[in-house]
Chain A
Amino acid sequence: DTGVSQDPRHKITKRGQNVTFRCDPISEHNRLYWYRQTLGQGPEFLTYFQNEAQLEKSRLLSDRFSAERPKGSFSTLEIQRTEQGDSAMYLCASSQDSPNTEAFFGQGTRLTVV
């Protein structure tokens, strides 16, 4: 297993367009997290899944954001009608069962909305 994989690494989109990011976690990990990180800040929690169930969503996750993990394996994060304020690094992480164990992060998808 090569770790957590995210695709694409970079995305430039025009304001108002929809974008979708994919995350492939480490295969035996039950938990999958999405974070957003802006320049000079630490990662901010967006949402997480336990297997296929989405158990928590941050207030940062507006109605334009939706995440899925249909088979409990890979996950997608979609942003509809993108705004310039959505420009950030979107990070995916996975862990076994709980955050009280190591969480491994992917390399992130850098989104630029122009």
Chain B
Amino acid sequence: GENVGLHLPTLSVQEGDNSIINCAYSNSASDYFIWYKQESGKGPQFIIDIRSNMDKRQGQRVTVLLNKTVKHLSLQIAATQPGDSAVYFCAEPDSSASKIIFGSGTRLSIRP
């Protein structure tokens, strides 16, 4: 629960393609995960969350997948647009459930 990590620091995607951002966690007891999007100069913006009793959750153009077996979650963005350019963080409550902790982020850039 105290170690939320990301696989890649940067991801470059062609406009219109799908983006997949990955995140690993270490605490098998973790039961809630959140994805945030942070644009330059702005605060993190909530995108989507998922609880451990679910494997998949869909939002508008975004899908989060949770694989509890390998302690991995991913954020999929369909038909990536220039406005999706940002840093994406996965986050989860810490082991005491007192605050949210963040990984270091993946920067998503869009090629025209």
Q: Which A residues fall within an 8 A CB radius of B?
A: 4, 6, 33, 40-45, 48, 55-56, 91, 93, 98-100, 102-108, 110
Q: Knowing A100-B32, A105-B44, A108-B42, say if A42 contacts B97 (CB, 8 Å).
A: no
Q: Are B99 and A33 in contact (CB under 8 A)?
A: yes
Given the known interface contacts A100-B32, A100-B97, A102-B34, the answer about A42 and B43 at a Cβ–Cβ threshold of 8 Å is no
Q: How many residues of B contact A (CB 8 A)?
A: 24
Nearest Cβ distance between residue A38 and chain B, in whole angstroms? Answer: 11
Given A56-B98, A91-B43, A99-B98, verify A42-B89 contact (CB < 8 Å): yes
Task: From B32, B43, B94, give the contact of A105 (CB < 8 A).
Answer: B43
**13 residue pairs A–B, Cβ–Cβ below 8 Å:** A40-B104, A42-B89, A43-B89, A44-B102, A45-B100, A91-B43, A99-B93, A100-B93, A100-B97, A102-B34, A102-B46, A103-B100, A104-B46
How far apart sit A42 and B94, CA to CA, in the bound complex (Å)?
Answer: 15
Min CB distance B38 to A, Å, is 9
* A105 vs B94: C-alpha distance when bound (angstroms): 18
Contact of B97 among A45, A93, A99 (CB under 8 A): A99
B45 with A105: CB separation less than 8 A: yes
| CB of B26, distance to nearest CB on chain A (Å) | 16
Residues of A within 8 A of B41 (CB): 107, 110
In whole angstroms, what is the CA distance A67 to B31 when docked?
30
Which residue of the partner chain B has the closest CB to A58? B99
Question: How far apart are A12's CB and chain B's nearest CB, in angstroms?
Answer: 15
Closest Cβ neighbor of B49 among chain A residues: A102
Complex CA distance for A41 and B105, rounded to whole angstroms? 7
B98 partner, pick from A4, A55, A104, beta carbons under 8 A:
A55
The answer for the CA separation of A91 and B45 in the assembled complex, in Å, is 12
Question: Are B44 and A43 in contact, with the CB atoms below 8 A?
Answer: yes
